[in-house]
Amino acid sequence: MSTTHTPQSVRLRALVDTVQRNERTLRRFQDVELQLIRAQDFPSLCRVLLDYLPREFGLERVTLWLNDTLPLLHELALRHASSGTKRADGNNGKAASSLKTSREMGDAAARLCSQGRPWLGAPAAMDDAARNACFGSEPRPASLALLPLATNGQPSGYLCLASDNESRFAPGMATDMLERFTVIVAASLDNVAHREQLERLGATDALTGLPNRRYFDERLREETTRASRYRLPLGCLFIDIDGFKPINDAYGHAVGDRALAMVGACLRKQTRLGDTIARYGGEEFAVLLQGDLKDSLVVAERMRAAVAQLDLRDNESTNESPSDSPNDSAENGKRIPLTVSIGVSAHGMHQGADLDSLGRTLVDEADRAMYKAKSGGRNRVATLVG
């Protein structure tokens, strides 16, 4: 007996096949994303993108282009490109994946992804300049997906996925999954950039685990340069623990160290992706924020309120939130109030400005605003404006 298939059953079967295929693709993307998130350094991240990704998805090659939004990674990419080593495993076969930094490829990619959206299609659909910039003398794929990467809202690079299958990346195809993937790639690049810089500077404070002043000063130079290039505002917070010396004097340096560690961890949790926090010295912390004065005040108030909720005890048992009971028991020890005074400053950055002077002014104004908060009663946020 022959089995007949109605048009409805055929459509249903096709729909089920599509859903199952999408689920398999999503799981493979998630596996790559997990490896990207776990990458501890730039070479590890490159191995995932330039070796594992094309092998897992059957791509002809993958190209990662980076600009100088993440200066250290751009420097490492330049060094990698100039060395002539194409793949992370050293294999220079015809399908080799690569890192690129040429301005021509960046300009070509920016034209194709003019709205900040992925571009899908065949090389034949590109203009001559774009084809030469993207492929040069390399074999040209049948189709490709050009995916823009952004760090803190600014273009930082492009990921090019190339296939021998002309229908693999076609105009009009849904790009939701690819766009989600680019967010993970960009965040992983940013994370690795910070790790690489901390490693290079040896700039981690042992007590709090935060970057130290040396790292902060380096980031200040980078952020003023970046903000100037894109004419963006930059904010700074200067944070001091209220009454820290009396805590040390009354309860000892061990409790003081716990106070510093708790406040540092609390402030880190309130810091946004792309912002920079450091232990500036003693009981002082500094934060660089990508935003104007209004944005910086919102973050500062959130930090102040969070620290005021910390539960520091005069014994070894500590929690990060206050006790449910208003009465301190002998077992938990006496609760020691912790508060901070925060000074806030912000400036617009413009091309041609004296960036070193502007950076010093930003920090100096936040420092003076912090003393204003101290003199105004402590446990508060202040600016020199108004």
**Is residue 253 within 8 Å of residue 208, measured between CB atoms?**
no
CB contact set of 278 (below 8 Å; sequence gap of 6+) = 205, 210, 211, 212, 213, 215, 216, 219, 285, 286, 287
From the candidates 283, 316, 320, 365, which is the catalytic residue? 283
| Residue position matching structure tokens 């693709």 | 25
Angle at 348 (CA atoms; ends 342, 354), nearest 5 degrees: 105
C-alpha count within 13 angstroms, C-beta hemisphere, residue 353: 22
Compute the distance between CA of residue 286 and CA of residue 275 in angstroms, rounded to an integer: 11
Angle at 36 (CA atoms; ends 208, 100), nearest 5 degrees: 110
Compute the distance between CA of residue 117 and CA of residue 158 in angstroms, rounded to an integer: 11
CB contact set of 38 (below 8 Å; sequence gap of 6+) = none
**Is residue 29 within 8 Å of residue 56, measured between CB atoms?**
no
Q: Which of 370, 363, 362 is nearest to 342 (CA)?
A: 370
Compute the distance between CA of residue 87 and CA of residue 89 in angstroms, rounded to an integer: 5
Q: At what angle do helices 293-308 and 253-270 cross, to 10 degrees?
A: 140
Active site residue 222: no
CB contact set of 208 (below 8 Å; sequence gap of 6+) = 260, 261, 264, 265, 279
Catalytic site positions:
283
